[in-house]
Amino acid sequence: MRNRGCLVNERVGSDEPIYLTGACTHNCWWGKGGMIDYTNDDCGDYWHNKKRQPLINVGVIGHWTDLGEPELYPALHCPDTGGYAEGSEADAHNIFNFRWIRGIYKGYVSNNEELRPLRGLTA
Protein backbone atom coordinates (compact mmCIF):
# COMPACT_ATOMS: atom_id res chain seq x y z
CA MET A 1 0.00 0.00 0.00
CA ARG A 2 2.87 2.35 0.76
CA ASN A 3 4.41 1.80 -2.68
CA ARG A 4 1.07 2.70 -4.28
CA GLY A 5 0.82 5.93 -2.25
CA CYS A 6 -2.30 4.62 -0.53
CA LEU A 7 -1.46 5.37 3.10
CA VAL A 8 -2.15 8.60 4.96
CA ASN A 9 1.09 10.57 5.14
CA GLU A 10 2.62 12.53 7.99
CA ARG A 11 1.66 15.84 6.42
CA VAL A 12 0.40 17.37 3.19
CA GLY A 13 3.09 17.07 0.52
CA SER A 14 4.95 14.28 2.33
CA ASP A 15 5.60 10.84 0.86
CA GLU A 16 6.23 9.39 4.32
CA PRO A 17 3.25 7.44 5.72
CA ILE A 18 2.24 7.93 9.29
CA TYR A 19 2.21 4.67 11.22
CA LEU A 20 0.07 4.28 14.28
CA THR A 21 1.49 2.27 17.14
CA GLY A 22 0.24 0.97 20.45
CA ALA A 23 2.04 3.88 22.09
CA CYS A 24 0.06 6.51 20.17
CA THR A 25 -3.30 4.75 20.38
CA HIS A 26 -2.85 3.74 24.03
CA ASN A 27 -3.77 0.17 23.04
CA CYS A 28 -1.10 -2.42 23.58
CA TRP A 29 -2.79 -4.79 21.11
CA TRP A 30 -2.54 -2.38 18.18
CA GLY A 31 0.98 -3.12 17.01
CA LYS A 32 2.02 -0.93 14.06
CA GLY A 33 -0.28 0.00 11.22
CA GLY A 34 -0.79 2.50 8.46
CA MET A 35 -4.14 3.94 7.50
CA ILE A 36 -5.58 3.57 4.00
CA ASP A 37 -6.29 6.94 2.43
CA TYR A 38 -9.87 6.43 1.32
CA THR A 39 -9.98 10.04 0.13
CA ASN A 40 -7.97 8.71 -2.83
CA ASP A 41 -10.53 6.80 -4.92
CA ASP A 42 -7.82 4.74 -6.64
CA CYS A 43 -6.70 3.42 -3.25
CA GLY A 44 -10.24 2.46 -2.26
CA ASP A 45 -10.70 0.67 -5.59
CA TYR A 46 -7.39 -1.16 -5.24
CA TRP A 47 -8.13 -2.27 -1.66
CA HIS A 48 -11.57 -3.48 -2.63
CA ASN A 49 -10.35 -5.59 -5.53
CA LYS A 50 -7.21 -6.89 -3.78
CA LYS A 51 -8.58 -7.62 -0.29
CA ARG A 52 -12.33 -7.15 0.07
CA GLN A 53 -13.51 -8.89 -3.12
CA PRO A 54 -11.73 -12.17 -2.28
CA LEU A 55 -13.56 -12.14 1.07
CA ILE A 56 -16.87 -11.48 -0.66
CA ASN A 57 -16.12 -14.39 -2.99
CA VAL A 58 -15.96 -16.76 -0.01
CA GLY A 59 -19.14 -15.42 1.59
CA VAL A 60 -18.16 -12.46 3.77
CA ILE A 61 -20.78 -9.81 3.09
CA GLY A 62 -20.61 -7.55 6.14
CA HIS A 63 -18.18 -4.64 6.14
CA TRP A 64 -17.72 -2.71 9.34
CA THR A 65 -16.28 0.72 8.68
CA ASP A 66 -14.83 1.19 12.13
CA LEU A 67 -11.83 3.42 12.81
CA GLY A 68 -13.26 5.94 10.38
CA GLU A 69 -12.65 8.92 12.63
CA PRO A 70 -9.12 9.90 11.66
CA GLU A 71 -9.38 13.18 13.55
CA LEU A 72 -9.38 11.23 16.82
CA TYR A 73 -5.73 10.20 16.55
CA PRO A 74 -3.52 12.02 19.05
CA ALA A 75 -2.20 15.27 17.57
CA LEU A 76 1.36 14.35 18.47
CA HIS A 77 1.26 11.30 16.20
CA CYS A 78 -1.23 12.41 13.55
CA PRO A 79 -1.10 16.19 13.39
CA ASP A 80 -3.82 18.38 11.95
CA THR A 81 -1.61 18.70 8.89
CA GLY A 82 -1.89 14.94 8.15
CA GLY A 83 -1.48 14.26 4.44
CA TYR A 84 -4.53 12.84 2.67
CA ALA A 85 -5.30 12.92 -1.05
CA GLU A 86 -8.12 15.26 -0.02
CA GLY A 87 -5.66 17.58 1.76
CA SER A 88 -5.03 18.12 5.44
CA GLU A 89 -6.65 16.36 8.37
CA ALA A 90 -9.18 19.17 8.59
CA ASP A 91 -10.04 18.70 4.90
CA ALA A 92 -10.41 14.93 5.18
CA HIS A 93 -12.12 14.15 8.46
CA ASN A 94 -15.69 14.81 7.31
CA ILE A 95 -15.34 13.08 3.94
CA PHE A 96 -13.20 10.08 4.98
CA ASN A 97 -15.93 7.61 5.97
CA PHE A 98 -18.18 8.71 3.11
CA ARG A 99 -15.43 7.87 0.60
CA TRP A 100 -14.72 4.58 2.37
CA ILE A 101 -18.36 3.52 2.15
CA ARG A 102 -18.63 4.78 -1.41
CA GLY A 103 -15.60 2.64 -2.27
CA ILE A 104 -17.37 -0.45 -0.94
CA TYR A 105 -20.46 0.38 -2.97
CA LYS A 106 -18.44 1.04 -6.13
CA GLY A 107 -16.61 -2.26 -5.67
CA TYR A 108 -19.87 -4.16 -5.41
CA VAL A 109 -21.23 -2.45 -8.53
CA SER A 110 -18.06 -2.92 -10.61
CA ASN A 111 -17.87 -6.60 -9.65
CA ASN A 112 -21.59 -7.18 -10.33
CA GLU A 113 -22.33 -8.23 -6.77
CA GLU A 114 -26.04 -8.53 -6.10
CA LEU A 115 -25.98 -8.59 -2.30
CA ARG A 116 -26.45 -5.39 -0.35
CA PRO A 117 -23.02 -4.36 0.98
CA LEU A 118 -24.14 -2.11 3.83
CA ARG A 119 -27.07 -1.65 6.14
CA GLY A 120 -28.05 0.86 8.75
CA LEU A 121 -27.91 -0.09 12.41
CA THR A 122 -31.67 0.18 12.65
CA ALA A 123 -32.37 -1.91 9.53
Distances (CA, A) of 66 to 21, 70, 101: 17, 10, 11
Residue 97 near residue 75, CB atoms below 8 Å? no
pLDDT of residue 67: 66
* Better pLDDT: 20 or 9: 9
CA-to-CA distance for 80 and 93, rounded, in angstroms? Answer: 10
**Residue 51 pLDDT more than 70?**
yes
Q: How confident is the model at residue 70 (pLDDT cuts 50, 70, 90)?
A: low
Distances (CA, A) of 42 to 11, 26, 36: 20, 31, 11
Q: How confident is the model at residue 60 (pLDDT cuts 50, 70, 90)?
A: confident
Backbone angles phi, psi at 102, to 5 degrees: -60, -35
CA-to-CA distance for 33 and 22, rounded, in angstroms? Answer: 9
